[in-house]
Homo-oligomer: A and B are copies of this chain.
Amino acid sequence: MNQQYVIGIDIGGTTSVVGLVDEQGHIVAERSFDTQSYAEPLLFVQAIRRGIEEMVTSADLQVRLCGIGVGAPNGNFYNGRIEYAPNMPWKGVVDLAGIMEEAMDMPVVLTNDANAAAVGEKRFGAAKGLDDFVVVTIGTGLGSGIVANGELIYGNTGFAGELGHTNTVRDGRECTCGRKGCLEAYVSARGLQATYNELRKECMVATPGQELPADGLSARAIYHAALQGDSMAIQAFEYTGMILGRHLADLVAINSPEVIFLFGGLAASGELLLQPTRKHLAENLLQVFKGRVRVELSTLEGKSAAVKGAAALAWEVLCVDEPAHEPT
């Protein structure tokens, strides 16, 4: 009998990755797509369809696909739509799951990337067996997938977990959402850059004439500077971890997770971010939660982590006691 697989798709504003994934979370084959090249969602879906056909053919396996899981920015689990996602080539509300189901003749389930990461952590990662945990995705922006009582929280709207847009500094930095002081404006690649620039400006005032790095250092460059012992870069990470740690203390008071996993590009900075985050979380916890929550790096790290998350969602929702679908 043919073995069951799913397709996991990680949709990003720049690149989208499609993987053929087995029940253990192994990615058997993978294809990347330049999201911005497709003016219409249907063209994008058709390209992905061809990619899937190629992967299934060249994988040289007896493949039965039971469905497609998609993680996408502003993806709504309830209706399968991408709603007003910034940085995407398709504006407004896009019924991506609908378009995909029709084009592929296969069930499609869609959610936002942070929720997919949480489902992936539970199925394939370190959250196996945990009923109460949170995955915080920190890359260009900040998102979260929250699991309570063993189930992901989508909320009434399907958009629960917008931790990046909760307030952390009243009337603070401007956020891409149009409001001020959101966590994402501080704890993200963009936030780290802003912090570094602020520190740089302070330093320029304090020591005029000093040789300083050019404006607009990337988060990656700040990371490498910190690794090389650059005190301003280290300070930028410490500030970022302080903001994150004390903010997570509030999340713990609300949902009381057992573990908070950090996931994504900025989380890959490892100890530089982890150490100050843990310190400031511990310092700010309400007594009753002290010693009862851990902060860890996601075990799904790596470039295919988001694909695994999307695949996990498909396994979770589409493959339980469902007849498998032949690839189209």
Interchain CB contact (< 8 A) of A256 among B84, B157, B249, B251:
B157
Among B153, B251, B288, the residue within 8 A (CB) of A148 is B153
Given known contacts A83-B288, A148-B148, A151-B149, is B161 in contact with A254 (CB within 8 Å)? yes
Complexed CA–CA distance, A153 and B128 (Å): 19
Contact: A288 with B159, CB < 8 Å? Answer: yes
Which 3 residue pairs are nearest across A and B when measured between Cβ atoms?
A155-B256, A156-B258, A160-B256
A284 at interface by CB-CB < 8 Å = yes
B159 touches A153 (CB 8 A): no
- A254→B256 contact, CB < 8 A: no
Residues of B contacting A84 with CB < 8 Å? 287-288
Number of interface residues of A (CB under 8 A): 46
Starting from the known contacts A144-B254, A158-B256, A160-B256, 18 additional A-B residue pairs (CB-CB under 8 Å) come to A131-B156, A132-B153, A146-B255, A148-B149, A148-B155, A149-B149, A149-B153, A156-B257, A156-B292, A157-B256, A162-B254, A162-B286, A162-B289, A165-B286, A167-B249, A170-B170, A177-B287, A178-B287
A27 at the interface (CB under 8 A from B): no
Shortest CB distance A91–B (Å): 14
A30 to chain B, nearest CB (A): 31
- The residue that A286 contacts in the complex, of B177, B256, B286, with Cβ under 8 A, is B177
- Contacts A/B (CB < 8 Å), 17 sampled: A132-B156, A148-B148, A148-B149, A148-B155, A154-B256, A155-B255, A156-B292, A157-B289, A158-B256, A159-B256, A159-B288, A161-B254, A163-B254, A165-B286, A166-B250, A177-B287, A254-B254
A154 proximity list for chain B (CB < 8 A): 149, 256
Which chain A residues have a beta carbon within 8 Å of chain B's beta carbons?
A: 74, 83-84, 131-132, 144, 146, 148-149, 151, 153-163, 165-167, 169-170, 177-179, 246, 249-251, 253-258, 284, 286-289, 292-293
Instruction: Determine the chain B residues whose CB is within 8 A of the CB of A148 once the complex forms.
Output: 148-149, 151, 153, 155, 160
Residue of B nearest to A154 (CB): B256
* Chain B neighbourhood of A162, CB < 8 A: 253-254, 256, 286, 288-289
Question: Which chain B residue has the least Cβ–Cβ distance from A163?
Answer: B254
